[in-house]
Amino acid sequence: MIEFMEKWHGRTVFGASLLVALALLAGCTSTTIDEFRQGETGIASDEAVVILGRRQASDYETRSEFVQCVGDRMARGEGAINVVPEQEFVDAMFPWFEPRTAPLRTRDLEQLMAENVVAEKMSEFGIRYIVWLDGFTETTERGGSISCTIGPGGGGCFGFGTWEDDANFDARVWDVGSLTNVGTINTDATGQSYLPALVVPIPLIARVEANACSRLATQLKDFVNGS
Amino acid sequence: MSSRKFRIPLAALLGLAFLVGCGVSTVTIEGSFPTPNISKLPLNVAVYYDQSLRDFAYMEYSETGAEEFNVQSGQSHIALFNAVLPAMFDDVVVIDSLDDAVAAEVDAVFTPLIEEFQLALPMKTKLDVYEVWIKYNMRLATAEGDYIADWVLTSYGKTPTETFRSTEAAINDAAVVALRDLASSFSLSFSQVPEVRDWLAQL
């Protein structure tokens, strides 16, 4: 009986240690930020920023949830900036910022601003900077296997799964006042997720995209504020 | 006795679930379309929605040839044109028959038609996007029925796959993007169509 208890205790400790180790590993997301400044920046309290996702690529598009996440984080905390929601801006500017018609270069923005309706709307919103976000999160290096069974006496899953997420996003900042590109910020975040299953699957997910969003928003906020 | 009582409804439920799983899924495209911010042309235009546009539906077949998705987009196209045309022209009237155009005293009659509709699903293309591609034939004639212009427009919409979204919702989202694409290219390119440009220069 004592021998059984020791074995059981040993297994529990081993399982718990494994879970803690995996949880610690899952928390390890590495994020790299590169900033390239091409001009002076700064923003007044009555001015705003709009963050737009690029959707011209054929095989992916920048998710609106990521765009919203960056906008929400820029709009709060120290040095918060007025951020116009993407959909509100695109609808108000319709049809000038649709995937087919959106300006790809600052030269195109210059032509667009020559349209009175566009310039008036831009002024109504108080837009000082347009931030173009382009990128996606890719899942690679999937490994392991999990099998689940169900029977009259109950069910359960056994196995182990793992994968790596890589989020890579570029943010180009256009100054609507000078109609120039004032800088580019690149964020690259990677992290390993694990899914051990001992009767019940326990997801240990690396928050790769959330980290990319948080770091990019902080960097963008500083960049726009000119600090 | 009580076991038999439950056996028949259970079998019926299983049968129904099986039938539902095998049946065609109808997707009626629904979305809201903003009014374009463009300069209006000083024209009175009548728009005629042909019955083929009003009832337009596309059937997507599975790889085994079974009916899979019935995409109904006729009414959403009408809603789109009803939002776009009043922003493009001074006055717009909808006519029920081409014969009503003269009585409406309009400068031109516009007739949009759908020529082709294509749907690309991730399970077939192996891409992480749902895609909709639509080809249109746009016709512009005088109130008396004389030819002004006849041109082809294409629109494209895509939406990425998401874990907790149904295929039906994804098809709807991709179609709404395609409809917005139609509205943007139609409203911005209308006066650049060579025949339309020549006609506008004569007015």
Q: Note whether A118 contacts B: Cβ–Cβ < 8 A.
A: yes
Model confidence over A133-176: pLDDT tens digits?
Answer: 999 999 888 899 989 898 888 889 999 999 999 999 999 999 99
**For residue A144, which phi and psi values (nearest 5 degrees)?**
85, 175
Q: How far is CA A78 from the centre of its chain?
A: 20
Cβ A63–B184 below 8 Å, yes or no? no
What is the per-residue burial (b if ≥16 Cβ within 10 Å, else e) of B111-149?
bbebeebebebeeeeebebbbbbbebebbbbebeeeebb
Model confidence over B7-49: pLDDT tens digits?
Answer: 555 555 555 554 445 589 999 999 989 999 999 999 999 999 9
Model confidence over A28-80: pLDDT tens digits?
Answer: 789 999 999 999 999 999 999 999 999 888 778 899 999 999 999 999 999 99
pLDDT the model gives residue B1: 43
Those residues with Cβ within 8 angstroms of residue A23's Cβ, 6 or more apart along the chain or in another chain: A204
Those residues with Cβ within 8 angstroms of residue B65's Cβ, 6 or more apart along the chain or in another chain: none
Q: Note whether A3 contacts B: Cβ–Cβ < 8 A.
A: no
Write down all domains in chain B, each with its CATH number in brackets: 24-202 (3.40.50.10610)
Provide, as residue numbers in chain A, all residues whose Cβ is less than 8 Å from the Cβ of B38.
95, 117
Instruction: Find the CB nearest B181 among A93, A100, A116.
Output: A100
Count of CB pairs separated by less than 8 Å, A with B: 51
Neighbours of A168 (CB within 10 A): 16
Q: Are B117 and B58 in contact (CB under 8 A)?
A: yes
Cβ A99–B129 below 8 Å, yes or no? no
Which uninterrupted H or E stretch holds B98?
none
CA distance A211 to chain B (A): 20
CA dist B172 and A199 (Å) reads 38
**Cis preceding-peptide flag for B160 (omega within 30 of 0):** no
Cβ B185–A60 below 8 Å, yes or no? no
CA angle A61, B120, A100 (to 5 degrees): 40
CA diameter of chain A:
86
Residues B95-99: what's their mean pLDDT? 94
What's the length of chain B?
203
Instruction: Find the CB nearest A94 among B34, B127, B177.
Output: B34
* pLDDT above 50 for B176: yes
pLDDT the model gives residue B2: 47
CA dist B25 and B59 (Å) reads 10
CA dist B154 and B53 (Å) reads 15
Q: Are B120 and B69 in contact (CB under 8 A)?
A: no
Nearest one of B87, B86, B149 to B112, comparing CA atoms: B149
CA dist B132 and A210 (Å) reads 30
Q: Are strands A127-151 and B57-61 parallel, antiparallel or unpaired?
A: unpaired
Looking at A88-97, A122-131, B4-13, B85-94, which range is the least confident one?
B4-13
**For residue A155, which phi and psi values (nearest 5 degrees)?**
-150, 175
CA dist B165 and B151 (Å) reads 36
Q: Are B5 and B151 in contact (CB under 8 A)?
A: no
Cβ A98–B181 below 8 Å, yes or no? yes
State the ipTM, two decimals.
0.81
